[in-house]
Each structure stands twice: as structure tokens, then as C-alpha cells.
Amino acid sequence: MRNLLEIQKQLLPDLMETLKRRYTILHQIMLSDIIGRRTLAASLDMTERVLRAETDLLKSQGLIEIESVGMRISDAGRRLLDLLEPIAKSLFGLDDLEEKIRTTYGLSKVIIVPGDCESSPFTKRELGRAGAKALLGVLRSDDTIAVTGGSTLAEMADQLSPPLSHSYKNAWFVPARGGLGESMEIQANTIASTMAKRVGANYRLLHVPDLLSEDAYQSLGLDSNIGEIVGIIRRSRIIVHGIGDALEMTRRRNLDEATVAEIQGEGAVAESFGYYFNEEGKVVHTMLTMGLRLEDIMRTEVVVGIAGGKRKAKAIHAMLRFGQEDILITDEAAAVEIGREIDNEVQLPL
């Protein structure tokens, strides 16, 4: 059932909006027993004219009856509404959840794609698409954008397609951090260059390992070339970062057991751009690396976090508590978990 909608959404991107709108109108008419056009328009916050177009359609479909005293739902309309209810629930459910998360943590935007990244590669792709769309929504023509690595970011880069007739040839994509000992495709460097190519922008790479010894850090810091690119990175207006589970990231970074134990001992649950966060969103561990620093993130105008899957819910939630996110892209599985935790928190003080 739900599946069909997802399929159609690809061919009819504005299907959901229309469906929601008409459902809402029909629903409102049902609730109101009988209601006039102007009153209805006001209560739904629509202009009279567009409402009229919709009600004319509903009438021609036999879903409502229009009389001189106003509009009322027909039997067919009532039946349709019944059939539509479960669909509408899930349709509006995510909206509500987006709004809840948004207001709770003061974000400017939250996007939840239906499904679960962990179980479906399609959902992961959708997550990437949503991220790409969100990025294009905030991207200006001469921006500098710092991106981290990770498979989700890689997917996002793949899904990034330049909008028709808009030039980003003065924009710069840079990696937020150095390279991890991982496959090429999900390196921050790779992602920065892919994104740049896809939208017709420029890119700079940071050729240093993510994890540095004190010595190496000092000596590399003196390199003028590296210094320059780090300077660019730190002045980014936009950061797009994945969010990782702390434990998983220690493994991916191949940290030694002592360090892993230390990080775990500090209660770290989330990792992003080289910092480890505990459940309260406090930084509990910092890695000595080149690239973005905590203070840069604080002053960055647009911080876009992107991650999905139930297993990452805790980590995402920690990042939200950290409080620097502006836009969150996640999936239903993670969002539902986060919503649950928000409810628990609210109930505790009672």
C-alpha cells in the first residue's frame, strides 16, 4: 500500500502535497458537517480561489455536495475518507515528527524520508536524494562547503544533480577532515570532489591522514599549502556531515584498544567530524587532526547533519543535543526512535 505511493512519488513528485491538501479539505468538510467556502478557506489558511478550484474538483468527483447553505461531504466522500485514513496517518505522521524534532532542538529544517536505511538500500538512496535537495536549497553561488566522509555522504554526492540554470562555478567544496583508512569512495576528499563536479563547482583536497601524532601535526601545520586549504575549510559557510556511532567509528579508525576503551569509558555514543559526543551532546573526546575544529562549527552558518537507521538514533540524538545543527536529514526508523526519546524526556519532569 505504502509502497505504491513511494513508487508514484518518483514520477509525481508533488503527489503527496496534492493528496494531503485534498485529504485535508475533505476531512475538514466532514468535520464541519456543513461549511462555506470563505470560512473553510480561512480555517485551512488558503485563499478563496484555490480552495474553490479544489472543491469544484471534489464536487465533480462526487465526493462533496454543494448547496446554497454550503458544502457537505457526500456518502462517497465519507467512504473515501475512511479508506484513506490509514494512509493519511502515515502521510502526516512524518510531518508531525519533523515538526516535533525541529522545534524541540531549534533546527531550521528537519527532513524525514520514509523507511529504514539499514534494511533498504532504496531508503538510503532517498536519504541521499533528500540531503542533496536540502543542500541545493541553501547553496549560494559563491559558497564554501565542507563535507565529511561516510557512505551516506557518498550516496548524497551521487544523488546531487545541478538544478537547471544555476551556476555554482564560484563555489568551493572541501573535505572537513583528512583521510581515513577506508575505501576510496567514502573519503571526504572523494566526496568533496564528486559533489563539486556534479554541480559544476571547484574543489580543494586535504592530503593528510585523519589521525595525527603530535609531531606530525606540528610539522604539517607549517606546510603553507596545507595551511591554506585548512584556512579555507575553517571558513566554510556550510558544513555537511554524517553522524556515526562512536564505537563503530573507533573501529573504522583502527584505534588501539586503549584509546577505544578510553572513549567508551567517557560515555561516547556519537562521532562526527572527529569529535566524540556523549548522550548529552557534550564533547568527551577530541582527536588531534587537521581541518574543522569545534569552534569553527559553532560559528558556521549552516550545519547539515545527515544519517539514518535505528542503530544510529542515539548518535543522532546526541548530535541534536550538541545544539549546532541547523538542518537534519534522517530516515523514519531513526526519527521514530528520536521522537520516542523526546516523549520520555518530556514526561520525566512531570
Partner DNA sequence: TAACCCGGGACGTTTTAAGACCATGAACAA
Partner DNA sequence: TTGTTCATGGTCTTAAAACGTCCCGGGTTA
On whether the CB atoms of residues 17 and 28 are closer than 8 A, the answer is: no
Residue 215 vs residues 221, 222, 229: alpha-carbon distances, Å:
10, 11, 20
Contact with DNA (CB under 7 A): which of 7, 15, 31, 36?
A: 36
What does 86-98 look like in DSSP terms, one character per residue?
A: HHHHHHHHHHHHH
Residues in the chain, total: 350
Contact with its own copies (CB under 8 A): which of 35, 40, 41, 63?
A: 63
Binding site partner of 37, from its own copies, DNA, none, Cβ cut-off 5-8 A by kind: DNA
Residue with cell 536529514: 329
Q: Which stretch binds its own copies (CB under 8 A): 79-87, 171-179, 253-261, 314-322?
A: 79-87
Minimum CB separation of residue 52 from DNA in Å reads 7
Minimum CB separation of residue 27 from DNA in Å reads 16
Angle between helix 214-222 and 224-234 (nearest 10): 90
Q: What kind and span of H or E run contains 240?
A: strand 238-242
Binding site partner of 95, from its own copies, DNA, none, Cβ cut-off 5-8 A by kind: none
Does position 26 bind its own copies by CB under 8 A? yes
Between 18 and 213, CB nearer to DNA: 18
On whether the CB atoms of residues 25 and 54 are closer than 8 A, the answer is: yes
Does position 1 bind DNA by CB under 7 A? no
Minimum CB separation of residue 336 from DNA in Å reads 33
Name residues whose C-beta falls within 8 Å of residue 349's C-beta, 6 or more positions apart in sequence: none
Q: What kind and span of H or E run contains 120?
A: none
Binding site partner of 67, from DNA, its own copies, none, Cβ cut-off 5-8 A by kind: DNA
Residue 186 vs residues 74, 172, 176, 178, 262: alpha-carbon distances, Å:
55, 19, 13, 12, 27
Binding site partner of 36, from DNA, its own copies, none, Cβ cut-off 5-8 A by kind: DNA
Contact with DNA (CB under 7 A): which of 1, 4, 11, 164?
A: 164
Minimum CB separation of residue 311 from its own copies in Å reads 25
Measured CA to CA, the distance from residue 227 to residue 205 in angstroms comes to 12
Minimum CB separation of residue 205 from its own copies in Å reads 27
Binding site partner of 222, from DNA, its own copies, none, Cβ cut-off 5-8 A by kind: none
Q: Which three cell numbers stand for residue 190?
A: 572523494
Measured CA to CA, the distance from residue 229 to residue 237 in angstroms comes to 15
Residue 118: count of CB within 10 angstroms of its CB: 16
Measured CA to CA, the distance from residue 232 to residue 6 in angstroms comes to 40
Near its own copies in 88-127, by CB under 8 A? 122, 125
Measured CA to CA, the distance from residue 291 to residue 305 in angstroms comes to 17
Does position 35 bind DNA by CB under 7 A? yes
Between 121 and 323, CB nearer to its own copies: 121
Contact with its own copies (CB under 8 A): which of 47, 68, 164, 348?
A: 164
**Residues in touch with its own copies (CB under 8 A):** 1, 3-5, 7-8, 10-15, 18-19, 22-23, 26, 56-57, 59-63, 76, 79-80, 83-84, 87, 122, 125, 129, 159, 161, 163-164
**Residues in touch with DNA (CB under 7 A):** 35-39, 47-50, 52-53, 59, 66-71, 164-165
